[in-house]
Amino acid sequence: MTQETIFGRILSGEIPCDEVYSDKHCLAFRDIQPQAPVHILIIPRKNIHKLSDATEQDQELLGHLLLVASKVAHQEGLEDWRTVINSGEKAGQTVFHLHIHVLGGRVLQWPPG
């Protein structure tokens, strides 16, 4: 069962999203508060609270999520993009369901924050 977060509610269909990709392992959709012209979130269907909670059994899923990030970036016409995974509150994670941000469409500065 998916923990009750906004992402869990999106996965259950309770909250709609602007979907850009979906398969049996994950869902990708546009962020409602984009930080770049292209800002996609990729969430696993399996509830993993944060990256540091992933186990060796999640290895294949984690690799799949990164491949989907690349696929979605190309689908969105990006040549260059940034992927971000915040793990924990002090790292900026606000929704405690593992997710990958795909950001692009402008020059991204470093360091990010």
Q: Are 87 and 20 in contact (CB under 8 A)?
A: no
DSSP 97: S
- Look up 99 and say whether it is catalytic: yes
DSSP code per residue over 28-92:
EEE-SS-SSSEEEEEEESS--SSGGG--GGGHHHHHHHHHHHHHHHHHTT-SSEEEE---SGGGT
Which position among 64, 74, 97, 99 bears the catalytic label?
99
Contacts of 25 (CB under 8 A, 6+ apart): 44, 45, 46, 61, 64, 65
Residue positions annotated with a catalytic role: 99
